[in-house]
Structure 1
């Protein structure tokens, strides 16, 4: 997925876990996040909740195989910009990235 983001002309930084992201400084350098629900350590939903507590959250786009309504509602109610299923629709993802980065 990072190759796709780069091919659209955006810089991309990968993190192995939510905890690695939370330790990264300066987080203000992050303009948008592509997040999975299932990750090592904290889940994407838990990461979102932690960032919401800190009022330190760039737009989040969830890209996941876990597409049940409860998970989707949790992500969207937590402020996610989008909740996309895998395999991801490339055009939808690009549209979401453009929307997030034009804010």
Structure 2
């Protein structure tokens, strides 16, 4: 029996975390929220989350730092960047770093939902070995 997907939300803005959390709850998706990258990494275990939604600009490590850290430890968890940063260089860095999507705040909920559904489809629900952002032999 496969588990329901769990989405992590990392954003230092409490209102944004709550809005994203509420949106996911309406969609019957479980989520955990974190106010900074370090808090997420303190609880991160491979397979613990199916997707990550993160801001770029946060105190401490940025969302791009978090993305880089996850990729450096071999995590394939889909990462969706939601940010007010509209600089093309930042977007390019995120996408080259392996982000699934780069969405501008205020985020369009339908666009976010589309990227989220795509990210969760990438996680193979029929094979526990390929679930939850863990590398596969594939």
Same fold (TM over 0.5): yes
- Structure 2 residues without counterparts, runs of 5 or longer: 1-19, 123-138
Structure with the bigger percentage of helix: 1
Per the TM alignment, residue 71 of structure 1 is displaced from its structure 2 partner at its CA by 0.3
- TM-score, normalised on structure 2? 0.71
Matched, 1:5 2:28: no
Distance 1:41 1:25 in 2: 17
Aligned length: 103
Per the TM alignment, residue 57 of structure 1 is displaced from its structure 2 partner at its CA by 3.9
Alignment match, 2:85 = 66
Alignment match, 1:23 = 42
Q: Which has the larger radius of gyration?
A: 2
- TM-score, normalised on structure 1? 0.94
Distance 2:44 2:87 in 1: 33
Per the TM alignment, residue 31 of structure 1 is displaced from its structure 2 partner at its CA by 0.3
Structure with the bigger percentage of strand: 2
- Structure 1 residues without counterparts, runs of 5 or longer: none
Matched, 1:94 2:131: no
Q: Which runs of 4+ in 1 moved over 2 A?
A: none
> Which moved further from structure 2: 41-50 or 25-34?
25-34
